[in-house]
Amino acid sequence: MINSAPCRLLLSFGLAALLALSGCNSNSGTSSQSPKSKEDLQATVSPQAFEHFREAHKLLKEQKLPEALKEFQQAADLAPKSALVRFWVGKVAFLNKDKDQAEKSFLRVLELDPANYHAKAMLGQIYLMDKTKLDQAERYLKESLDASPDNLEAHFDMARLYAMKGDKDQSLQEFRFVLAKESEFPGFHYELGRIMESWGEKDVALNHYRRALVLNPRFAPATQALQKLESSRPGAAQPAPTPAKPKARKPK
C-alpha cells in the first residue's frame, strides 16, 4: 500500500525527460544481441536507413527533438528489424515527452531483442511515473540490473522506487551507490533532495539542492525547490505586506 507521501515523489513526465536530457545518460541502446555502434548498424541496414539514423543523431545533438524523432522513425520504417534503431525512436520519444510512443517502442525492442537491458531500464523508468505500475517498474529495473549491474540510471530509478515504497534504507543504499560512481550530476542531488525533504530531513535536502546548483546554476527545478524550502523554514524572511489602500473619503 502506497501512502500519500511517497506518491508525491512521482516525477512528472516532463521533469523525467528534463533529467534525462540534462546529462549522464548511460543508455546507449545496445545489448549483447544488438549492433554496438553506428558502424555495425551500417552493415545491417540499408544506406537510406543509415542516413536517416545519422541525421537523427546530428539533430539530437542540437536538441532538435521533434526533427530527430522524425528521422529516427523514418530509419525504423526502413529497418523494421533493427532493435537499435527502434530503441532510439523510444528514447527520443521519451525526451520529447511522448510516453505512449516511448513505451510502445521499448516493448518492440524487447520483441526484437529480449536481452536488451537498456530498453528494460527505460520501461522501468516510464512505469515508475505511474503509482499503479510500480511492480512492473521494479521487475524491469531488476532485470536490467541483473544484466548490467553498474547501470547508474537503473540504480537511480531503484532508489526512487524504494523511496516511493517507503523503504528508506534500501533507497539510501542505492543513492550511495549512484553518488559514489557519479557525484557531479545535478539531477541525482536534486532528486535525493526531494526525497529527503519528503522524509522531513530538510537540512539534508537543502544541502543537495545547493549542491545541484553548484554543479548547474541554471538547473531550474533545484532553484525552485531551494527557494520554496528556504521560504518555509522558521525565521525565514517573509515578504512585506502590501499596504492597504486608504479609503476614499465621502464628500460632505
How far from 122 is each of 25, 62, 88, 200, 223, CA to CA, in Å? 11, 22, 11, 30, 27
Considering the domain boundaries, does residue 116 fall inside one? yes
Residue 12 has what pLDDT? 53
Considering the domain boundaries, does residue 176 fall inside one? no
- Is 191 in the same domain as 164? no
Residue 147 belongs to what domain range?
Answer: 4-169
Considering the domain boundaries, does residue 12 fall inside one? yes
Using alpha carbons only, give the angle 190, 192, 196 rounded to the nearest 5 degrees: 120
Considering the domain boundaries, does residue 8 fall inside one? yes
- Is 132 in the same domain as 187? no
Considering the domain boundaries, does residue 13 fall inside one? yes
Rounded distance between C-alpha atoms, residue 18 and residue 22, angstroms: 6
Considering the domain boundaries, does residue 249 fall inside one? no
- Is 197 in the same domain as 153? no
Residue 45 has what pLDDT? 86
Residue 242 has what pLDDT? 55
* Residue-by-residue pLDDT tens, the chain, 252 positions: 334 444 455 555 555 555 555 553 444 444 443 445 666 677 788 999 999 999 999 999 998 999 999 999 999 999 999 999 999 999 999 999 899 999 999 999 999 999 999 999 999 999 999 989 999 999 999 999 999 999 999 999 999 999 999 999 999 999 999 999 999 999 999 999 999 999 999 999 999 999 999 999 999 999 999 999 999 877 665 555 555 555 555 555
- Is 35 in the same domain as 95? yes
- Is 22 in the same domain as 140? yes
- Is 200 in the same domain as 94? no
Considering the domain boundaries, does residue 11 fall inside one? yes
Report pTM.
0.80
Rounded distance between C-alpha atoms, residue 162 and residue 171, angstroms: 5
Rounded distance between C-alpha atoms, residue 53 and residue 42, angstroms: 9
- Is 67 in the same domain as 130? yes
- Is 87 in the same domain as 112? yes
Comparing CA positions, the residue from 174, 9, 160, 153 lying closest to residue 94 is 153
Task: Count the domains in the chain.
Answer: 2
Considering the domain boundaries, does residue 241 fall inside one? no
Residue 185 has what pLDDT? 92
Comparing CA positions, the residue from 106, 19, 96 lying closest to residue 56 is 96
Residue 24 has what pLDDT? 39
- Is 194 in the same domain as 161? no
Look at residue 109 and give its three-state secondary structure.
Answer: helix
Comparing CA positions, the residue from 219, 215, 185, 212 lying closest to residue 197 is 212
Note whether 195 and 8 are within 8 A (CB): no
Read off the CATH number of the domain in which 122 is found: 1.25.40.10
Residue 234 has what pLDDT? 77
